[in-house]
Amino acid sequence: MLGNWKREITEFTKSSQMKKNQKYKILHIITRWMAGGGAERNTYFTIKGLDKSKYEVDLVIGGDSKAVPENLEGVNIVKINSLRRNIHPIDEFKALFQLYKLIKKRKYCLVHTHLAKAGMLGRFASKLAGVPVIVHTLHGSLFHDSLNPIVKFVYKNLERFSALYTTWLISVGEDLKSRYLKAGVGKLEKYSVIRSGMDLEKFHKASKFSEEEIKEIRKSLNFSSDDIVIGMVASLEPRKGHKYAIEVAEEIIKRHPRVKFLFVGEGYLHSILEEIVRKKNLQNSIFFAGLRRDVEKVMAVFDILILTSLWEGLPQVLVQGAVLGKPMVSFDVEGSNELIKEGKNGFIVPLKNTSEMIRKLDYLISSQKMAKMMGENGKEIVGQEWDIGSMTKKTSELYKYLLNENEKKQK
């Protein structure tokens, strides 16, 4: 069926030419907007890449948003304060009603939802309002293995129910798609895998920094050329598993005093994590860089990249780490084996298994030449499918196909 896209898109283009003055109204809904978030970047570049001569785009962001997307010319941004990440029955009904009113009033022909809460409420409101095309992007698993079994069961069945009235599901990774299909969420023929596009050019440039440039960046971060820097880039929130990373760091620093750990990212756990580090008397070996706009430069000084997330969709930082040529050690989360080839450019260890992560890091620290060679191997893994242009093109083609199919049904 996907092989017929070119023909369907051609028909869509012809019909669009007959309606030159008509723009298709599209709404994107995301639970929250935070600077640097993977789902946010995916949504931003998707909207940015749409042809504004064909589409009129609105964006709804939730009440927990810490920022507002910038440079989205012509896009109407609506903040719904009752749309929040945490569960609250009254807010849920308020958000559902507000979304329904907006969707009914604006008469969107396609609604595209992102993240769990927006995905549930946004799709249901769209169904009630009679939206003909409903799309949802899976940025990560809602029913991951770190959940209480009862909660996991409830979430899994909510996803199954929502899929019944979802026109199409987009997954950012193959692992995530397989997990959802195995759980009975949706049908195979209604799925697409579209990688989250990233601006990788700056990471490609950073991978070619000279030794002198790396030395200067290290100096700016208060690292010496003799320090072995192990880094992690992730928002400071529970699902990223920083407590496991600190546990790993404590043991590695005992074995290798030259090692420094650098956590890049911001979040509400910042002060709590810093206090844990202080109590362990590790403040001279574990550092917090906060949110960085030049993350590619910071990552360029890493000798090893780690990831202790408890659940993911497709970890974008692993894509960036591979481009930079860094050996990587990650917990076994969705998408990790799409970027880390065991023993070739890094290692994948069981979830929460800090002793195994320590063992792999110990090996890489003790075998610097092997670590560098493994990092270089990773550069071959990332192809054009991770490019922003590839993501926006595939998403736009999917929209065209779905809208054309809807127009056929109405004839």
Out of 6-10, 30-34, 108-112, 399-403, which region has the weakest mean confidence (pLDDT)?
A: 6-10
Predicted pLDDT at 345: 95
Residue 282 has pLDDT above 70, yes or no: yes
| Distance in angstroms (rounded) separating the CA atoms of residues 261 and 230 | 5
Residue 4 has pLDDT above 60, yes or no: no
Residue 16 has pLDDT above 60, yes or no: no
Strand ordering across the sheet containing 168-171: 76-80, 55-62, 24-30, 110-114, 133-138, 168-171, 191-193
| Phi/psi at 262 (5° precision) | -130, 120
Predicted pLDDT at 130: 97
Convert the pLDDT of each residue in 325-337 to its tens digit: 999 999 999 889 9
Mean pLDDT of 389-411: 93
| Distance in angstroms (rounded) separating the CA atoms of residues 314 and 172 | 6
Predicted pLDDT at 245: 98
**Which one-letter DSSP state was computed for residue 197?**
P
Mean pLDDT of 261-266: 96
Out of 10-14, 149-153, 348-352, which region has the weakest mean confidence (pLDDT)?
A: 10-14
Predicted pLDDT at 20: 52
Mean pLDDT of 206-230: 95
How far is the CA of 167 from the CAs of 121, 134, 212, in angstroms? 15, 5, 53
79: CB partners within 8 A, 6+ apart: 60, 61, 62, 63, 65, 68
Predicted pLDDT at 10: 46
Task: Give DSSP secondary structure letters for 134-149.
Answer: EEEEESS-SS-TTS-H
Out of 3-7, 52-56, 257-261, 340-344, which region has the weakest mean confidence (pLDDT)?
A: 3-7
Residue 157 has pLDDT above 60, yes or no: yes
Convert the pLDDT of each residue in 109-140 to its tens digit: 999 999 999 999 999 999 999 999 999 999 98
Asked whether 28 and 56 are in contact (CB, 8 A), the reply is no
Residue 367 has pLDDT above 60, yes or no: yes
Residue 13 has pLDDT above 80, yes or no: no
Mean pLDDT over the full length of the chain: 92
Asked whether 315 and 307 are in contact (CB, 8 A), the reply is yes
Predicted pLDDT at 295: 95
Say whether pTM exceeds 0.85: no
Residue 19 has pLDDT above 80, yes or no: no
Q: What percent of the chain has pLDDT over 70?
A: 95
Domains of the chain (ranges plus CATH)?
Answer: 2-197+387-410 (3.40.50.2000), 201-382 (3.40.50.2000)
Asked whether 390 and 197 are in contact (CB, 8 A), the reply is yes
Residue 21 has pLDDT above 80, yes or no: no
Tell me the H-state helices in 172-269: 174-182, 201-206, 211-220, 242-255
pLDDT band at 306 (very low <50, low <70, confident <90, very high): very high
Predicted pLDDT at 18: 39
Mean pLDDT of 91-104: 97
Tokens of 104: 């009914």
Residue 177 has pLDDT above 80, yes or no: yes
| Distance in angstroms (rounded) separating the CA atoms of residues 348 and 312 | 14
Q: Which residues of 203-227 are buried (b: 16+ CB within 10 A; e: fewer)?
A: beebbebeeeeeeebbeebebeeeb
Residue 148 has pLDDT above 50, yes or no: yes
Predicted pLDDT at 401: 97
pLDDT band at 67 (very low <50, low <70, confident <90, very high): confident
Helix, strand, or coil here: 79? Answer: strand
15: CB partners within 8 A, 6+ apart: 404, 407
Predicted pLDDT at 380: 86
Tell me the H-state helices in 267-367: 270-279, 295-300, 316-324, 336-339, 354-366
Residue 144 has pLDDT above 90, yes or no: no
377: CB partners within 8 A, 6+ apart: 341, 344, 345
What is the sign of the dihedral through the CA atoms of 135, 139, 140 and 142?
A: negative
**Bigger pLDDT: 317 or 16?**
317
